[in-house]
């Protein structure tokens, strides 16, 4: 899946239309509370500016659903970017309208313009594969993509978090740009390198650790990784559906009774590759650190209790397995890690990964948040910026928004 990168292209005197992921959290006063996603785009941005190019940046923020919603404006993100780089940054109050056209036309080498939220336009998220989508909607998406494409001499995708979405700014734009260079930024290059290439040729033993609430969310991931991994360690609430499938008692734990047959199929296919918890840390009130607690063997959860974390024996077993690994992928916490003491399992796994010499890939979402929160982000090989995108890549899915870009 090797793609040409922004560093492979001569950008001097050219306008680079770059899709970034500035979907950052804002407080009630519309201040950026976590600028990590903006900072992660800086290497690609600065590469263009230092080499005499100019930048037109496009991104989404939140879910405005095709309407102009003031709280989802990208203006705070543009202002934060201006603080982080030594270059003029202007903000267009629309996406492809008069203000955007004027500001892009006036753009000089070394300057940046940030377009307003692409999701303010309903055309951005038109699902062409949906049978309910009309020809008129498809044509509108095409026209929107063409207007965006007209802003750039070069297209660069540095928004991994939306690479699994064939949205106008992700797929339509590069598909209508003809012979113009269409490349990835440094962030997407790194994501592809770890999530795709490392899985294709892992150093062994290769261990996957999968947590989270639902088996249904991870079915395809488990199925794909069973063909690739040496071991898959299961944690989080989905472990209780597996326990139920084995005839265990799950109390009031979050389970998917309709997925028991599927869990049995995965257990049969997985054999000794699929490793389940051997004990469970339970409580009798959700997200209450002062609730009554008990540690029981897996499948022995009392009627009035819920499983909130893997137990200490499981944490020790998983940590030992991680120590011997050469490649590790982790997606999903082991329990309700936001509430001590039910963070112990997630902490133990994170610590073992941080202490290991393996290539370690943290697959976005809650796992990434846990690693950041625990202070281990600098001690793992890669923390993915895209929860949904990383999951789909672990499933082995092709990404149209990446496939359309130039091969290396």
Cβ neighbours for 134, distance < 8 A, ≥ 6 positions apart? none
Q: Is 151 flagged in the annotation as binding? A: no
Rounded Cα distance between 114 and 87, Å, is 13
Which long-range contacts does 134-142 make (Cβ < 8 Å, 24+ apart)? Answer: 141/168, 141/172, 142/172, 142/176
Catalytic residue among 15, 37, 147, 231: 37
Measured N-to-C along each axis, helices 215-226 and 387-394 cross at an angle, to the nearest 10 degrees, of 40
pTM: 0.83
* Cα-based distances in Å from 232 to 75, 272, 369: 43, 9, 21
Mean pLDDT of the chain: 94
Higher pLDDT, 212 or 67: 67
Catalytic residue among 211, 236, 248, 365: 365
Q: Is 367 flagged in the annotation as binding? A: yes
Instruction: Give the pLDDT of residue 91.
Output: 98
Annotation says 214 is catalytic: yes
Q: Is 299 flagged in the annotation as binding? A: no
Catalytic residue among 66, 110, 388, 396: 388
Mean pLDDT score, 262-286? 96
CATH topology of domain 6-188: Rossmann fold (3.40.50)
* Residue 192, pLDDT above cutoff 70: yes
Annotation says 388 is catalytic: yes
Annotation says 190 is catalytic: no
Higher pLDDT, 249 or 224: 249
Q: Is 366 flagged in the annotation as binding? A: yes
Rounded Cα distance between 197 and 193, Å, is 5
* pLDDT tens track for 364-406: 678 888 888 888 888 999 888 777 788 788 777 889 999 999 9
CATH topology of domain 195-394: Rossmann fold (3.40.50)
Catalytic residue among 4, 36, 75, 214: 214
Give domain limits for the chain.
6-188, 195-394
Is the omega angle on the peptide bond into residue 15 within 30 degrees of 0, that is, cis? no
Query: Is-same-fold flag (6-188; 195-394)?
Result: yes
Q: Is 197 flagged in the annotation as binding? A: no
Q: Is 365 flagged in the annotation as binding? A: yes
Instruction: Give the pLDDT of residue 108.
Output: 97
Q: Is 119 flagged in the annotation as binding? A: yes
């Amino acid at each position: 899946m090797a793609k040409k990168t922004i560093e492979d292209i001569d950008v001097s005197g050219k306008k680079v239309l770059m899709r970034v992921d500035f979907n950052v959290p804002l407080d009630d006063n519309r201040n950026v509370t976590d600028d990590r996603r903006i900072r992660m785009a800086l290497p690609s941005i600065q590469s263009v500016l230092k080499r005499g190019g100019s930048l037109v940046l496009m991104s989404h923020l939140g879910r405005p659903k095709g309407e102009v919603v003031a709280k989802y404006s990208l203006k705070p993100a543009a202002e934060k970017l201006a603080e982080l780089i030594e270059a003029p940054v202007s903000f267009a109050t629309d996406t492809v309208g008069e203000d955007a056209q004027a500001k892009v036309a006036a753009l000089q080498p070394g300057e940046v313009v940030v377009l307003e939220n692409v999701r303010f336009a309903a055309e951005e998220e038109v699902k062409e594969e949906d049978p309910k989508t009309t020809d008129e909607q498809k044509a509108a998406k095409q026209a929107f993509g063409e207007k965006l494409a007209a802003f750039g001499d070069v297209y660069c995708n540095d928004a991994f978090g939306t690479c699994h979405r064939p949205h106008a700014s992700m797929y339509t734009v590069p598909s209508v740009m003809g012979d113009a260079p269409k490349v990835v930024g440094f962030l997407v290059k790194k994501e592809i390198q770890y999530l795709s290439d490392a899985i294709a040729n892992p150093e062994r033993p290769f261990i996957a650790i999968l947590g989270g609430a639902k088996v249904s969310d991870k079915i395809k991931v488990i199925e794909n990784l069973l063909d690739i991994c040496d071991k898959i360690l299961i944690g989080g609430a989905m472990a209780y559906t597996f326990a139920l499938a084995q005839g265990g008692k799950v109390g009031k734990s979050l389970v998917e009774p309709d997925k028991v047959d599927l869990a049995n199929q995965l257990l049969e296919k997985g054999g000794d590759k699929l490793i389940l918890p051997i004990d469970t840390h339970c409580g009798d009130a959700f997200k209450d650190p002062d609730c009554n607690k008990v540690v029981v063997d897996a499948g022995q959860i009392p009627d009035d209790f819920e499983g909130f974390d893997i137990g200490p024996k499981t944490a020790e077993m998983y940590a030992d397995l991680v120590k011997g690994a050469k490649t590790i992928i982790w997606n999903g916490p082991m329990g309700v890690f936001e509430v001590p003491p039910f963070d112990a399992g997630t902490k133990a796994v994170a610590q073992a990964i941080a202490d290991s010499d393996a290539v370690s890939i943290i697959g976005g979402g809650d796992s990434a948040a846990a690693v950041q929160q625990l202070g281990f982000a600098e001690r793992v090989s890669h923390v993915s910026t895209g929860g949904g995108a990383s999951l789909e890549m672990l499933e082995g899915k092709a990404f149209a928004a990446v496939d359309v870009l130039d091969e290396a």
